Structure 1
């Protein structure tokens, strides 16, 4: 009898933990969110109602007690040399001057991690022009009242305009085929127990912009996709639920609304949902999950301007010009019943597994997550996602999924932020969001795994994944040939750092990327690179850096490249 009571108690605790994050479990129903779309691996493809998310919040509370405010502005100068080692290309040389700041804040009510940098490159010779580069990544949260938080994040980075990878080593000394990407999100979230009920709500505003200097170069006969321009998106959600106690199960009722307006072809995404969920403990470590609801989603866009030959007109950046006189046509339209069912397993406070199968978008979907926290410094996360997304909504969601504490990692030669971040709260990668800056909406499926650890004086980080996008374009549009095109991206990023002594350290990083272009005549892209850097502190805030990298790049229809680069530089932290 005692064992039965203990089993019921642990089962109820498990269900209570599952329902503890009601504020964002409703949020996770939106397109592009973890467990629903292209969410980042930091939430491992599940809603924040998962035990993993709950434990991460508790870890954050513990960290906030260890008050830490570290603001490190700096000036940096360097000299870079780069050469194509395979094709006998010219050796390019340029100097750099940069100003930036790294921030890490942990207090009782706030957490913030950020790194922002402005760099000017002075080219030597006619082949290497001067250029300005703004890069940075920030993620933070501030508690403004009981249960009420303000959250936000921002990103400035570079990616390939034609897809095929986001690793910054591809752009060392080169501005060709570069899409400068800027994205931010901000909004309040609320989660509190009121009268025995868990009440949650939130709102998020997102903005994303991509600048392209010139149309991308593609092999002859290939079909060029439309490069993303800019968009704004709004998300609002709310939920109410009750933990097990008076009832042998937990329940939640939730609903929300999302809208995105993109400048490209006057595109619009609009979705709303309402649903009810239950969590039923069936053992001390296992609970059954189930939910049913209603969803209504519409995606539409206008036609491009056509020339006298009926060919879509593009502007100087290679984007389609919008024909404002045409009506908006639907690229995707669904409404009706949605459901999902699954299981949650939590054998310990450090380990949790969630797996679900359901029906959405007129199709069967599979989502899931696995989180294992071996100790305070080691976290392993896996997320499986399936949903509708876009370049703009995906970046807003990816930023929101990143931890609020991470080590700001940059490519030492290009100065750009790395696509993956790692820290004591875990990590996350934006590769699946940055891989292809397409202007089209798309069905998004994939898996991402992230590991972050510190052991034997080394700091490690590994991120890998697979992302699949099927484009959604109106069947009667002049660009209907893009409808159904499927792009696939495989990626791996790893980094390791170790202090040699009190005043010096080494850092190693590497990546692999394969982009399978689904466009007719489209060129697949393969790239790989490795970078090593050595840093030594000379005097107070003065640090010297030496770095070298080797990058291999191969795109169908173009000559393959093997690029070698080296840097020496000085940095002064104030």
Structure 2
């Protein structure tokens, strides 16, 4: 969903320039606090197949869940950490649901090493369906062979310092993303086989020097440059990009500035050929992934080196509202980017973005993770599953992953879309909303296989909503809703619409012991097929230390 939204803001801020940010920026002092809440939990879950089409085996199946987790928030003068992690062991009754291990959660951390030097890191564990257009992070209690675990981790230093009036910045980030074996990948012989992500390693380095408006000149300026490289295990795929640019900020009023920049960029994406059989069909390994021909030359999927430029406005009429918008030339076409942030109150924030970039599953996941705040609340449905969103606090609304998780293709793609995150609360109420749209046009070379993803376009829309109310000092009621829509451009692939919702009642019993009851209804509707309807009930107890 918001997969590109938070990464878009990161890229947007780097493009706007130090001068504009310094002119309209705010400084927020965090209050020191440490909250660490580990727990153990036992649950009994019942699934009811309401569609009677044998998608889940018997009409009623059940499993027992034994889980351990921790929610933590640490904020001191030097360290900020937000964490929500849960490990769950699912023990099936009978043969309809196999025993399974599920890891889910987020960690974001920042450490101020010395004055101007900090180190940031983050980690993600989530679950998604393996097939294209699966219901993402909705209900994953039934068809275990069709789900997979996703892991991502990143870290790196950031430098922000001064040399007289000059403002100097630099940063480095390394990220690693892994998708576990997809047992259901490419298992349908009527559909064209598509390669799936295994693991990727991503490097990003940036540097800049500039000056704020009014320091020595009436306008601000910044010279910046960067290098990116991602290596993917599938087909020895490589993404490599260099850029350098100059940006200026011209204040028009105390709250409005004109911004613009020009530079040069070089992007190249390449891979090796795929092993095929005599009919030109890719030879798959035991996990449904393509196999690489190590003796083949590198094949070019995308290559552009050109002058890039853009211009726009930066408007901040008050400390709670910020709007930036630009139009320019990049990726050999006209691009539009924008970002809006509005803090309606101390507990309510809305953020929206329009983005346009070259991305991949690995880079997009890493950048979304890096764009999350260190203080957040992980959205979970009533069955303790991470629903794809992390809602922030104060001036940062957070972000979501689920639109990106609807397609685990290994190919790079041109990504265009928009996103919205709204989070907040008032009195006993708390809420979070995330929505996004993404259009992906894949970039792939001509290979020996009889089908290529090159120029294939898919579209994804997703919506997540959480609502909670504290009923009493020891009881609460929480609900969540989601809807996802996916249209694949691959011949033979059908549109998929998934939706669902759940409600959970929790009550404290005695000294850390609490009980909960949850009910949920989920649907997965594949075009041309009968919709799958699944109802789920849960009863559990938790002990918090």
Query: 119, 122, 140: which is aligned to 1:153?
Result: 122
For the residues of structure 2 that align with 1:225 and 1:38, how far apart are their CA atoms? 23
CA distance in 2, matches of 1:157, 1:178: 11
The offset of 1:421, in angstroms, is 1.4
**Are the counterparts in 1 of residues 260 and 311 from structure 2 also a CA contact under 8 Å?**
yes
How far residue 172 of structure 1 moved from its aligned partner, in angstroms, is 1.5
Contact 1:39–1:385 under 8 Å retained in 2: yes
Q: How much does 1:384 deviate?
A: 0.7
Instruction: Tell which deviates more after alignment, 378-387 or 162-171.
Output: 162-171
**Are residues 1:141 and 2:110 paired?**
yes
1:475 aligns with 2:446: yes
2:378 aligned counterpart, secondary structure: coil
Conservation of the 8 A alpha-carbon contact between 1:218 and 1:523: no
Select which of 247, 255, 260 maps to 2:225: 255
Displacement of 1:397 after TM fit?
0.3
Paired residues of 1:45 and 1:383 also in contact (CA < 8 A): no
**1:97-147: CA deviations, max 9, x gaps?**
011111111111121111112111111112121111122211111111111
Pair 50,201 (structure 1): closer, same or farther in 2 beyond 3 Å:
closer
TM-superposed CA distance for 1:219, in Å, is 5.9
1:44 touches 1:370 (CA, 8 Å); kept in 2?
A: no
2:92 maps to 123
Q: Distance in 2 between matches of 1:372 and 1:45?
A: 19
Q: 1:87 aligns with which of 49, 52, 60?
A: 52
Measure the CA separation in 2 of the matches of 1:404 and 1:343: 29
Aligned residue for 1:108? 77
2:4 maps to 1:38: yes
Match of 2:177 among 205, 208, 217: 208
Unpaired runs of at least 5, structure 1: 1-33
Give 1:172's aligned residue.
Answer: 141
Per-residue CA deviation, residues 237-268 of structure 1 (Å, 9 max, x unaligned), is 10000011221100000001110100000000
Residues 435, 463 of structure 2: 8 Å contact kept: yes
Shift of 1:393: 0.6
Relative to structure 2, which stretch is displaced further, 312-321 or 195-204?
312-321
User: Paired residue for 1:542?
Assistant: 513
Q: Say whether 1:223 aligns with 2:188.
A: no
Contact kept? 2:138, 2:387, Cα under 8 Å: no
Task: Name 1:492's counterpart in structure 2.
Answer: 463
Q: Residue 511 of structure 1: which of 472, 475, 482 is its match? A: 482
- Residues 1:371 and 2:341 are matched in the alignment: yes
Q: 2:165 aligns with which of 176, 182, 196?
A: 196
Number of aligned positions between the proteins: 535
For the 8 Å contact 1:512–1:527, the answer to whether it is kept is yes
Please, which of 503, 510, 518 is the counterpart of residue 532 of structure 1? 503
Cα deviations by residue, 1:415-441 (Å, 9 ceiling, x for unpaired): 322211113132211123322111001
Superposed counterparts of 1:296-307, under 5 Å = 296-307=266-277
Instruction: Note the aligned Cα RMSD (angstroms).
Output: 2.1
Determine the structure 1 residue equivalent to 2:209: 240
TM alignment of 1:55-454, pairs within 5 A: 58=26, 61-63=28-30, 66-87=31-52, 89-165=58-134, 167-216=136-185, 221-245=190-214, 246-413=216-383, 415-424=384-393, 425-454=396-425
Q: Answer whether contact 2:250 2:257 (CA < 8 A) is retained.
A: yes
Query: Which whole-Å CA distance do the structure 2 matches of 1:411 and 1:74 have between them?
Result: 18
- Alignment partners' CA distance in 1, 2:142 and 2:544: 25
TM-score for the superposition, normalised by structure 2: 0.94
**What do the CA deviations read for 1:146-183 (whole angstroms, capped 9, x no partner)?**
11111011111111212325543320143132121111
How much has 1:410 moved relative to structure 2?
2.2
Aligned to 1:20: none
1-side partners of 2:480 and 2:297: how far apart?
49
Q: Where does structure 2 lack aligned partners over 5 or more consecutive residues?
A: none
Q: Deviations over 1:271-292 (max 9, x none)?
A: 0011100001112322111100
Q: Structure 1 residues 150 and 41 mapped into 2: Cα distance closer, same or farther (>3 Å)? A: closer
